[in-house]
Structure 1
């Protein structure tokens, strides 16, 4: 197997081992109801802020919608915790289903305090039914740190699906040619 094929599998294999070794149980996860984007360093400088996550879309009738959050708002803090990226936002929200929390946002260049009562994820797929792998905080943080460290390096090893399909087709063709040669070689004996 080529080195590039092995390297892009490493994070997936690591995560599958972490998840496979963990118990599952029913757990409610908090839900805010926004789609967000991380802010680049130039954007943070332009907005004159040190941290925050841009709200790109608010889901209708979601807790965020009911609280008055709008597209273009920047979430700076939730429940007193600074939000620096999307993973911070998800981490703070998911552990507080049903709780009323304070939120500091920036709207049109001005800070604004709001309150929002978080919802709980609605049942659907396994990820929404509350059957979440119970990963200890230490394991989660270690995995997150490792993925952040190798994140940009992994991208150069991940081959697009079309390339993989093409390579698989070529390998199948080579295998068929080898099978044919073996058959022809055994018939001549």
Structure 2
């Protein structure tokens, strides 16, 4: 949804509200498409004495998996943004400034990056998740496997053999 900013120039305190659902199902993040739920954005674009400002929020469910046991997770995710809109291309250095390329603005162009900044690299199903056994793949949260707990890195097997031969003497 594009908002025509020319409509805001009619009054010093004009505002245009927005409230819509956008589709981010094709958005890739960390090699996956995690935004399979509807993404809701709402807010207002306003002219405050000649300064055009977009203030809004974005909410969705982030679909991912536990970094240790690979259990599917649904994480509620939200973000807010309050940005001044400017058509000056040299003003990009400011954090609370969005540079316009036309006489209109799509609120999703401002709010989606704010949402993506809220995403963590990894999520856990619970803080003390035990993860998967690196040898048999069993979920250690569900069952204990019979794998040897002291697996030796094959690169150090020769050293282990030397230690074992010293104990035999």
Q: Which has the higher strand share?
A: 2
Q: TM-score, normalised by structure 2?
A: 0.20
Q: Which has the higher helix share?
A: 1
Could you say which structure has the greater relative contact order, defined with CA pairs below 8 angstroms and 6 or more residues apart? 1
